[in-house]
Amino acid sequence: MVRHTPPMGWNSWNTFAENVNEKVVRESAEAMVQSGLYEAGYEYVVIDDCWSEKVRGKDGKLREDKRKFPSGMKELCDYVHGLGLKIGIYSCAGPLTCAGYPGSFDHEFVDAKSFADWGFDFLKYDYCYKPASVQGKFLYRRMGTALASCGRDILFSACSWGADETHTWIDGTGAHMWRSTGDIWDNYASIRDIIKLQYKILPYGGVGCFNDMDMLVTGMRGKGHVGIGGCTYEEYKLHMSVWAILASPLMIGCDIRSLNDETRELLTNRGMLSINQDARGCRAYIANEEEVRMSDVSPVFVRSLEGGDIAVCFTNLGDTDARGVLQAAQMGLSYGCGKKLCFCDVWSGEQIAMTNECLCLDMPPHTARLFRVKLK
Ligand code: GLA
């Protein structure tokens, strides 16, 4: 399987953690279809940690916890497929998962076969309890090999949190996406810190193996397992804008059974999604890199899109008002070239023309503006 665009879906962890169960998964899958998320492009329903029994069966295989998943995984997969969706499961490269359930270390092939037999389409693969004796890249390579020979197309989602310079080796392991940071929390500081960790790794990721900046907290509003603090509407908009321009997978973490209109719009805005899912698959650069390196100025991200358009995202990650500045030269316009750039704000629809040498925007704290830009 080759992934040409960042995977999109929902994952149980951010809201439910160890309380994940069959009811939640079925209802979330139904909600994904009914709420319009599926139509917008969200397709994977992923069961994270805490789904299995604490010990393997006598045959060495993982078993679902029947108190949480009474119908069993095969029937659940069939149900989710029947809705037109895909379904994912979770394991770990160490002998235990992060929450202390059995991991796949030295059981990679038998586990990949179980996941395939049940009907899973996606595996999130964590990094807790990694044995010191084996390098991470070989552990991910093992599971990549096991998945490649399990008889089913399974998207391989690596989750080694950027540890051990993940970006330098993950693409060779068979992974389709890879976590570049530690866990997200539903508060602004967590979003800001994850964005700041991206500056040095922008050239990595993209088509085939996407840089996963972690699951979305949009719409959590301080509820659920990682709901510590909550964010404002503008902070969630900044979160979506940056995840979109940096082509991160979009895995929703809020409870989609009770989406309000504001959250639905943040998750399904067409202009934002068309940038995230752009077919050209280019990586972004930081236009004002010098300033970002020298002082605490916030980045302006730029990315080429299919058909010649350009995505631009102004940010103000700081706690005070700031002025975002983008020079025409940073967008490829030479003095007197006779061209102009037209900026369309994907959230508000506002059109701004850049005819002079630069575009300056007054940016309140904790905000972003995401534009699709056309050359005229
Ligand atoms: C790690 C991962 C999280 C989640 C938990 C489950 O912390 O980074 O995304 O999967 O494990 O225990």
Token pair listed for 217: 């907290």
| Protein residue whose Cα sits closest to atom 9 of ligand 1 | 183
In the structure, what pLDDT confidence band is assigned to residue 357 with cuts at 50, 70 and 90? confident
Specify whether 121 is catalytic: no
- Which residues neighbour 40 within 8 Å (Cβ) at sequence distance 6 or greater? 267, 268, 270, 273
- pLDDT of 327: 94
Angle at 64 between CA 149 and CA 252, to 5 degrees: 80
Q: Decide if pLDDT at 355 tops 80.
A: no
In the structure, what pLDDT confidence band is assigned to residue 336 with cuts at 50, 70 and 90? confident
CA–CA separation, 225 and 112 (whole Å): 28
Contact predicate 284/301, CB 8 Å: yes
Please tell me which residue in 65, 117, 183, 345 is annotated as part of the active site.
Answer: 183
Q: pLDDT of 300-322, one tens digit each?
A: 999 999 999 999 999 999 999 99
Which of 15, 20, 48, when mutated, tests ligand 1's pocket best, judged by the most ligand atoms within 8 Å of its CB? Answer: 48
| Protein residue whose Cα sits closest to atom 8 of ligand 1 | 183
126 lines ligand 1 (CB under 6 A): yes
Specify whether 111 is catalytic: no
Which of 159, 186, 213, 251, when mutated, tests ligand 1's pocket best, judged by the most ligand atoms within 8 Å of its CB? Answer: 159
- CATH 1.10.490.20 matches 8-276: no
- pLDDT of 335: 82
Per-residue H/E/C for the chain: CCCCCCCEEEECHHHHHHHCCHHHHHHHHHHHHHCCHHHHCCCEEECCCCCECCCCCCCCCCCECCCCCCCCHHHHHHHHHHCCCEEEEEEECCCECCCCCECCCCCHHHHHHHHHHHCCCEEEEECCCCCCCCCHHHHHHHHHHHHHCCCCCCEEEECCCCHHHHHHHHHHHCCCEEECCCCCCCCHHHHHHHHHCCHHHCCCCCCCCEEECCCCCCCCCCCCCCCCCCCCHHHHHHHHHHHHHCCCCEEECCCHHHCCHHHHHHHHCHHHHHHHCCCCCCCCEECCHHHHHHCCCCCEEEEECHHHCEEEEEEECCCCCEEEEEEHHHHCCCCCCCCCEEEEECCCCCEEEECCCEEEEEECCCEEEEEEEEEC
Ligand 1 center to residue 268 CA distance, Å?
Answer: 25
Q: Decide if pLDDT at 356 tops 90.
A: no
| Protein residue whose Cα sits closest to atom 6 of ligand 1 | 49
Ligand 1 center to residue 20 CA distance, Å?
Answer: 13
- pLDDT of 273: 98
Taken as a whole, the chain contains a residue count of: 376
Contact predicate 226/355, CB 8 Å: no
pTM recorded for the entire structure: 0.98
Mean confidence (pLDDT) of the chain: 97
Domain map (residue ranges) of the chain = 8-276, 285-375
- pLDDT of 285: 97
- pLDDT of 32: 98
Ligand 1 center to residue 18 CA distance, Å?
Answer: 11
Ligand 1 center to residue 98 CA distance, Å?
Answer: 6
Ligand 1 center to residue 99 CA distance, Å?
Answer: 8
Exposure string of 138-165, with b = 16+ CB inside 10 Å and e = fewer, is: ebbbbbbebbeebeeebbbbbbbbbeee
Q: pLDDT of 226-243, one tens digit each?
A: 999 999 999 999 999 999
Please tell me which residue in 49, 121, 126, 255 is annotated as part of the active site.
Answer: 126
Token pair listed for 96: 């235990």
13 lines ligand 1 (CB under 6 A): yes
Q: pLDDT of 88-136, one tens digit each?
A: 999 999 999 999 999 999 999 999 999 999 999 999 999 999 999 999 9
Identify the residue with better confidence: 354 or 225.
Answer: 225
In the structure, what pLDDT confidence band is assigned to residue 334 with cuts at 50, 70 and 90? confident
CATH level 3 topology of 285-375: Immunoglobulin-like (2.60.40)
Provide the β-strand partners of residue 359. Answer: 326
Least confident of 25-34, 35-44, 144-153, 335-344: 335-344
48 lines ligand 1 (CB under 6 A): yes
Stretch 325-337: mean pLDDT, rounded?
A: 91
- pLDDT of 347: 98
- pLDDT of 45: 99
